[in-house]
């Protein structure tokens, strides 16, 4: 029982972050029709810029960062990720988007991802960093089970952001204009919507979202670029399984987290799955579900 | 003794299709073959490794260039080939066996990925293949039983570096030739049609999903053979070599070099190599630690090349097609379409309510009715595109449908439209015949091309202008010609005259009447009652989902 509860708790903690990123992926896709392959790298950018402003590139610990400077660093981190989001759109994605070249924007957004990744690896060359916690959360202990309060906060934040995005989309003029663009890019240009400004804005918001995800997620464990890329990947897997539906993306992320936690400590009969399968099984399951769902899209193609 | 004339014919054809570009490509490959004489073993091995990458990249161009699918799984297919190759080499299998098994494993992985995800919209296909690339990479690193974990799998050395180099060069050339053969074949034309406009390709009876699956599997085979041989070259299979970065690199190489030309991907590998050398040089100038600066500069240069909407280094060449009189497609048997009591609702909206309709050979039935009366829904049900809620449909002799909007395949010529549409009527149009360009397959190609030119003369469309550049009225007529070329006995034509002039309407009326007189069964949705009265044998009026006359 305690084991099951502990799986639930740790799965929930990871899944909340996946869900948060999945909501971000879904909103970007709904608004722009583009899959943001650099999302995970933007998360890493947010974390490292914040670290850099707060403490330079030296070693960081929970005590070495002052309060006010850290708040300033968080703001800078958000601004930089927003700028990087918008910049990557205008520099790399938009030129292909305008021509309707899917092949082009896929390559360009991946190129952005790897450029950001390489930049970070070169300048922050320590193996892993500890991100100071802006909001000190404790843990609950129920018997042998520990539950990070942070994970509840992350899930709550993901829910709130998803709700805010849904409201923005359906209630405001900007939101409706963005959905129109996502559905028919050329027609939106023809009717005179300021497409570049709106989509650029959406990418800036996505960057800020990634920065926010970084701040929420990073303090829970030692952090490096790979960890961030993995958040981006799991978020994408969760989002694509529910076909970028922002309302169900959080649930899909939580499900992936729970599957991962289960696999990590699973004993099936005599064989142990264990930590070696913690990535392979959830990703393979996500792909299997996606392939199964893809069979049904046949009627929709027209 | 039919071999000799056949060989002579093949030589004549090759000569007719020869261009400066072909000379340059052959000269480049011939010169490249001598490189190992000039370089030491270590450098030759490095170059051979680059050539295996080029082979995988040219293979990826099948999927990216011909089928237009953004596949990010090519690195994973390389990895699959490497695992199978390494295991076999470890057991003492000869290099050739390992290479073939690697190709088979790569093809199988490609078939699974293509079969699973090629139905998704392109953005979804990119996402799914990206997740697959990560899955394979993470599995190789954490599951030690696959490739030995961090230590990798050590295999005994096979051929010398120079041997590997020549083998890799030959494989790259073979992959480029395969690209050329595939792109020109009906297989490639139909994939290109689906790439340009999937919905219209579906209506012409193109088996889009199956062809795309085959294209991804073919890419996987090229990747798998490269992966297995690269392991034999290195003498070790290192799981960390197959990260998602490899898939990204292969994709970007195709993008830089140009996905639409057979050697575009190979040119992209050269560009990547030059970037890497340049990054090293700049790094030395700046006295920065080499590894750091190299990665950073390469990433920045790559971003520079990819951004700004780069369209690829090598552009495709359009080459003429040989036409000779010969047995074209066999005439289709007459057929009919009978629908009984069809019903379809979308929520509150009744799109069809007890519609019965029969379309018989040699007649033109017009379907008229106000907007929203259910005409297009009925057409979609008759074509089998959507399933009715109730009622039954009997189809005899095949059904083809043209779409409401002008829906040509803009990058294909009208001739290619007709060749793609008539592909299912080939007797010798299989993939392997196309790859090997057998004499029978080439004779059939020429005969079909001659027949298609004849059809286009009848429809009055210029055969060799890319369809996207044709006047709109010609585009409509072209899709009618393509539907005719499928050999279907029943044609469903959706608003062929919308927005056209009086002269164009007369031309259309004449063509439609001619098709019906030839024995086809036509159902034409049209608003223009004057046009309808002048050609239709029967008029069916639809209102609120019900037949009113």
| Inter-chain CB proximity B251 and A110 less than 8 Å | yes
Which of B139, B296, B310 lies at the smallest CB-CB distance from A118?
B296
pLDDT at B354: 85
**CA nearest A252: which of A158, A147, A146?**
A158
In chain A, the domains with their CATH numbers are: 2-300 (1.10.3470)
Confidence category of residue B247, pLDDT binned at 50, 70, 90: very high
DSSP state of A129: B
Write the CA distances from B221 to A237, B58, B72, B217, B233, integer angstroms: 26, 11, 15, 6, 18
Cβ–Cβ < 8 Å for B478, B448: no
Chain A interface test: which of B109, B135, B247 (most A C-beta within 10 Å): B135
DSSP state of B331: P
Confidence category of residue B265, pLDDT binned at 50, 70, 90: confident
pLDDT at B308: 57
Confidence category of residue B43, pLDDT binned at 50, 70, 90: confident
Confidence category of residue B123, pLDDT binned at 50, 70, 90: very high
Binding-face residues of B in 142-201 toward A, CB within 8 A: 142-144, 198-199
Confidence category of residue A177, pLDDT binned at 50, 70, 90: confident
Average pLDDT, chain B: 86
> What ipTM does the predicted assembly reach?
0.90
On chain B, the residues whose CB falls within 8 A of the CB of A291 are 115-117, 128
Phi, psi for B154 (deg, rounded to 5): -95, 135
pLDDT at A77 over 60: yes
Confidence category of residue B38, pLDDT binned at 50, 70, 90: confident
- Asked if B357 has any chain A CB less than 8 Å from its own CB, the reply is no
Q: Which of A158-167, A210-219, B531-540 has the highest mean pLDDT?
A: B531-540
pLDDT at B484: 93
- Strand, coil or helix: what is B3? helix
Give the integer Cα–Cα distance in Å for B182 and B261.
12
String of b and e for A27-45 (b: at least 16 CB within 10 Å)? bbbbbbbbbbbbbbbbbbb
pLDDT in tens, B78-109: 999 999 999 999 888 899 999 999 999 999 99
pLDDT at B110: 97
Cβ–Cβ < 8 Å for A203, A214: no
HSE (CB half, 13 Å, CA atoms) of A98?
13
Strands B521-525 and B538-543 turn out to be unpaired
**CA nearest B188: which of B164, B170, B212, B171?**
B212
HSE (CB half, 13 Å, CA atoms) of B189?
23
pLDDT in tens, B316-346: 777 778 788 777 788 777 888 888 888 888 8
Q: Identify which has the larger pLDDT, B238 or B212.
A: B212
Q: Which helix (H) or strand (E) holds B311?
A: none
pLDDT in tens, A7-34: 887 788 788 889 888 988 888 888 778 8
Q: How far is CA B493 from the centre of its chain?
A: 26
String of b and e for B247-280 (b: at least 16 CB within 10 Å)? bbbbbbbbbbbbbbbbbbbbbbbbbbbebbeebe
Mean pLDDT to the nearest integer, B165-169: 94
- Strand, coil or helix: what is A182? helix
Please give the residue of chain B at the shortest CA–CA distance from A235: B131
Beta bridge partners of A139: A148
Lowest mean pLDDT segment, chosen from A190-204, B35-49, B145-159, B299-313: B299-313
pLDDT at B256 over 80: yes
Give the integer Cα–Cα distance in Å for B301 and B287.
19
Mean pLDDT to the nearest integer, B413-428: 90
Domain borders along chain B are 17-243, 337-547
| Close Cβ partners of B81 (under 8 Å, ≥ 6 residues apart) | B102, B103, B105, B106, B223, B224, B225, B226, B227, B228
Q: How far is CA B35 from the centre of its chain?
A: 34
| Inter-chain CB proximity A301 and B70 less than 8 Å | no
CATH architecture of the domain formed by B337-547: 3-Layer(aba) Sandwich (3.40)
On chain A, the residues whose CB falls within 8 A of the CB of B259 are 103
pLDDT at B476 over 90: no
- Please identify which residue in the block is written with the tokens 């899930």: A155
Mean pLDDT to the nearest integer, B525-530: 83
pLDDT at A269: 52
pLDDT at A300: 38
Mean pLDDT to the nearest integer, B381-408: 84
Mean pLDDT to the nearest integer, A249-274: 79
Confidence category of residue B414, pLDDT binned at 50, 70, 90: very high
Give the integer Cα–Cα distance in Å for A272 and A87.
46
Please give the residue of chain B at the shortest CA–CA distance from A295: B119
Taking the model in full, what pTM does it have? 0.90
Mean pLDDT to the nearest integer, B38-59: 90
pLDDT at A302: 34
Write the CA distances from B250 to A165, A275, B75, B134, integer angstroms: 36, 30, 7, 15
Binding-face residues of B in 204-243 toward A, CB within 8 A: 209
- Please identify which residue in the block is written with the tokens 């609120």: B544
pLDDT in tens, B341-352: 888 888 788 888
pLDDT at A301 over 50: no
Confidence category of residue B291, pLDDT binned at 50, 70, 90: low
pLDDT at A270 over 60: no
Mean pLDDT to the nearest integer, B522-530: 86
- The distance of B253 to chain A (nearest Cα, Å) reads 10
pLDDT at A50 over 70: yes
In the sheet that holds B390-395, the strands lie side by side as B349-359, B337-346, B390-395
Q: What percent of chain B has pLDDT over 90?
A: 36
Mean pLDDT to the nearest integer, B509-513: 91
String of b and e for B79-99 (b: at least 16 CB within 10 Å)? bbbbbbbbbbbbeebebeebb
Cβ–Cβ < 8 Å for B361, B534: no
pLDDT in tens, A136-164: 667 777 777 777 777 777 778 777 877 88
Q: Where does residue B220 rank: exposed (0-12), middle (13-18), buried (19+ CB within 10 A)?
A: buried
Give the integer Cα–Cα distance in Å for A251 and A270.
31
Binding-face residues of B in 96-135 toward A, CB within 8 A: 115-117, 119-124, 126-128, 130-132, 134-135
On chain A, the residues whose CB falls within 8 A of the CB of B121 are 297
């Amino acid at each position: 029982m305690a084991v099951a509860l502990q799986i639930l708790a740790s799965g929930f903690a990871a899944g909340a972050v996946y869900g948060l990123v999945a909501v971000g992926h879904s909103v970007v896709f709904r608004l722009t029709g583009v899959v943001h392959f650099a999302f995970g790298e933007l998360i890493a950018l947010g974390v490292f810029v914040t670290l850099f402003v707060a403490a330079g590139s030296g070693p960081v610990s929970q005590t070495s960062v002052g309060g006010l400077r850290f708040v300033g660093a968080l703001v800078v981190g958000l601004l930089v990720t927003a700028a990087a989001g918008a910049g990557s759109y205008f520099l790399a994605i938009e030129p292909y988007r305008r021509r309707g070249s899917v092949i082009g924007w896929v390559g360009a957004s991946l190129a952005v991802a790897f450029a950001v990744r390489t930049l970070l690896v070169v300048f922050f060359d320590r193996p892993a960093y500890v991100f100071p916690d802006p909001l000190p959360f404790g843990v609950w202990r129920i018997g042998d089970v520990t539950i990070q309060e942070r994970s509840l906060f992350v899930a709550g934040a993901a829910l709130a952001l998803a709700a805010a995005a849904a409201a923005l989309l359906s209630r405001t003029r900007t939101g409706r204009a963005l959905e129109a663009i996502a559905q028919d890019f050329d027609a939106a240009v023809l009717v005179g919507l300021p497409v570049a400004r709106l989509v650029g804005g959406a990418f800036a918001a996505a960057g800020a979202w990634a920065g926010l995800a970084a701040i929420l997620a990073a303090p829970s464990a030692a952090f490096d670029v790979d960890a961030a890329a993995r958040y981006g990947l799991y978020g994408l897997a969760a989002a694509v399984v529910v076909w970028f539906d922002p309302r169900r993306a959080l649930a899909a992320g939580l499900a992936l987290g729970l599957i991962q936690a289960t696999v990590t400590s699973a004993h099936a009969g005599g064989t142990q799955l264990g930590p070696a399968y913690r990535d392979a099984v959830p990703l393979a399951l996500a792909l299997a579900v996606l392939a199964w769902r893809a069979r049904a899209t046949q009627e929709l193609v027209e | 003794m039919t071999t000799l004339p056949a060989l002579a014919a093949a030589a004549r054809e090759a000569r007719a299709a020869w261009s400066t570009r072909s000379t340059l490509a052959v000269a480049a490959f011939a010169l490249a073959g001598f490189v190992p004489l000039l370089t030491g073993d270590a450098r030759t091995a490095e170059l051979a490794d680059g050539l295996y990458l080029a082979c995988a990249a040219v293979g990826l161009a099948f999927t990216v260039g011909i089928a237009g699918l953004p596949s990010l799984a090519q690195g994973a297919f390389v990895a699959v080939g490497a695992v199978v190759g390494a295991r076999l080499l470890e057991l003492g299998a000869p290099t050739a066996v390992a290479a073939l098994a690697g190709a088979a494993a790569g093809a199988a992985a490609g078939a699974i990925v293509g079969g699973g995800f090629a139905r998704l919209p392109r953005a979804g296909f990119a996402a799914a293949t990206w997740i697959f690339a990560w899955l394979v990479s993470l599995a190789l690193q954490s599951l030690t039983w696959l490739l030995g974990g961090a230590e990798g799998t050590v295999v005994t050395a096979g051929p010398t570096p120079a041997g590997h180099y020549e083998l890799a060069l030959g494989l790259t050339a073979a992959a480029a030739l395969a690209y050329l053969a595939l792109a020109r074949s009906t297989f490639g034309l139909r994939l290109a049609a689906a790439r340009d406009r999937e919905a219209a390709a579906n209506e012409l009876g193109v088996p889009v999903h199956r062809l795309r699956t085959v294209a991804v599997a073919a890419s996987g085979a090229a990747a798998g053979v490269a992966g297995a041989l690269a392991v034999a070259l290195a003498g070790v299979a290192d799981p960390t070599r197959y990260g998602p970065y490899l898939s990204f690199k292969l994709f970007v190489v195709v993008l830089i070099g140009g996905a639409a030309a057979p050697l575009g991907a190979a040119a992209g590998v050269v560009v990547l190599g030059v970037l890497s050398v340049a990054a090293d040089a700049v790094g030395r100038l700046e006295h920065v630690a080499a590894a750091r600066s190299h990665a950073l500069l390469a990433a920045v240069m790559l971003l520079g090349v990819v951004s700004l909407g780069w369209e690829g280094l090598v552009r495709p060449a359009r080459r003429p097609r040989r036409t000779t009189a010969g047995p074209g497609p066999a005439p289709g048997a007459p057929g009919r379409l009978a629908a009984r009591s069809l019903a379809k609702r979308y929520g509150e909206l009744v799109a069809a309510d007890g519609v019965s309709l029969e379309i018989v050979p040699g007649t033109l039935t017009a379907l008229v009715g106000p907007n929203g009366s259910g005409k297009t829904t009925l057409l979609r049900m008759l074509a089998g595109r959507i399933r009715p809620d109730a009622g039954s449909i009997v189809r005899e002799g095949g059904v083809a449908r043209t779409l409401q909007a002008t829906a040509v395949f803009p990058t294909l010529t009208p001739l290619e439209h007709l060749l793609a549409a008539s592909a299912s009527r080939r007797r010798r149009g299989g993939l392997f015949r196309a790859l090997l360009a057998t004499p029978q397959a080439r004779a059939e190609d020429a005969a079909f091309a001659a027949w298609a030119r004849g059809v286009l003369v009848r429809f009055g469309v210029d055969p060799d202008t890319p369809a996207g550049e044709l006047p709109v009225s010609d585009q409509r007529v072209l899709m009618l010609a393509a539907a005719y070329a499928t050999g279907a006995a029943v044609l469903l034509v959706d608003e062929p005259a919308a927005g056209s002039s009086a002269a164009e309407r007369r031309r259309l009326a004449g063509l439609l009447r001619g098709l019906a007189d030839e024995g086809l069964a036509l159902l034409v949705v049209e608003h223009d009652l004057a046009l309808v009265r002048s050609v239709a044998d029967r008029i069916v009026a639809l209102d609120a989902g019900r037949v009113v006359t």
